[in-house]
Amino acid sequence: MEVTVRLQNVTKKIKNKTIIDDLSFDVFGGEIFGFLGPNGAGKTTTIRMIVGLMKLSDGDVFICGDSIKHSFEKAIGHVGAIVENPEMYKYLTGYDNLKHYARMSPGVEKSRIDEVIELVGLKARIHDKVKTYSLGMRQRLGLAQALLHKPKVLILDEPTNGLDPQGIREIRDYLKELSRNEGMTVIVSSHLLSEMEMMCDRFCIIQNGKLIDIQNTHEEEAETTAKMLQVQVDPVKKACKLIADTFPDYHPEVVDGALRLQVTYDLIPEVIKLLVMGDCAVYGVETVTISLEEKFLQITGAGGQIQ
């Protein structure tokens, strides 16, 4: 597999404080890769260094083989990015904003502008002024702008921030489309584990500027993988007792009105059957791989205190 983004001992120190501590990992062509970490973990700082908005104190970043330290122009030419709020002219239309950016990127033709508008689904409103856009529409315009020069690598810092569930889903679908159909490498950050699991092929967990772990999202489920099962069931207390009486090893408990228990994957049907046969109404079932959730909770734990 082709490595499109390589972080090599990336370090950032500001006034003797180490903000990013020796990060090294590879991201491959066509994959959606996530940075997961709590507030202040260093996601934005890492992205700012990758896209050249901030200098590295040590280490290097290679984009499609080009070093951002030694061949910045070439390296950055492979990248489209949205970091913080993309700059837009509110009194111009979406289309005029794109035209303006197209003028600044060599080789972008009018047909490409129409293509990206289509791609981000903004056609109906593209000739309206940006000041009349909703947050989601601005996000789409930002994305269109980042895609204009057909970058090989797209980098988005918290792309779903402030979007409604529909908007989040749409962003997720575009990003998947871009990686599958155009072979684009997509890097996104988030502080939500569930979002990373839904959006990414792989993601790394960052805490206090350090790489804690890299996870594969689509690994085959081992039948014996321990799962945290969360069941929306009514009546929940009766369900809890039923499980406790039948499977005392599962340690069922009621959390936020739902039944929770640890169970291995292959035994989930048994649990559901027991509930249904026991006259409990099951409204929903969710599973979370325990090791991952626990790992992330340990990181974001400590009462949610920022360190």
Q: How far apart are CA 173 and CA 190, in angstroms?
A: 16
Identify the three-state secondary structure at position 87: coil
155 binds, among ligand ATP, Mg ion, none (CB under 5 to 8 A by kind): none
Q: Is 46 in the site for Mg ion (CB under 5 A)?
A: no
Instruction: From 36-44, 60-68, 143-151, 194-202, give the range in contact with ligand ATP by CB under 6 A.
Output: 36-44
Q: 210: which 2 tokens?
A: 């350090």
Cβ 204 to ligand ATP, closest distance in Å? 12
CA distances from 241 to 250, 256, 288 (A): 12, 16, 22
Which 11-30 positions form the footprint of ligand ATP (CB under 6 A)? 14, 19
Q: How far apart are CA 247 and CA 280, in angstroms?
A: 16
41 binds, among ligand ATP, Mg ion, none (CB under 5 to 8 A by kind): ligand ATP
Sequence-distant (≥ 6) Cβ neighbours of residue 226 within 8 angstroms: 262, 263, 264, 289, 290, 291
Cβ 208 to ligand ATP, closest distance in Å? 8
Q: How far apart are CA 272 and CA 284, in angstroms?
A: 10
Q: How far apart are CA 157 and CA 85, in angstroms?
A: 10
**Which residue is closest to Mg ion by CB?**
44
Task: Compute the half-sphere exposure of residue 238: CA atoms within 13 Å on the CB side of its CA.
Answer: 12
Residue in 1, 16, 39, 91 binding ligand ATP, rule: CB under 6 A: 39
Q: Is 44 in the site for Mg ion (CB under 5 A)?
A: yes
Q: Which residue, 108 or 157, has its beta carbon nearer to ligand ATP? A: 157
Residue in 37, 52, 151, 159 binding ligand ATP, rule: CB under 6 A: 37
Which 177-216 positions form the footprint of ligand ATP (CB under 6 A)? 191
Cβ 12 to Mg ion, closest distance in Å? 14
Which residue ranges make up the site for ligand ATP (CB under 6 A)?
14, 19, 37, 39-45, 191
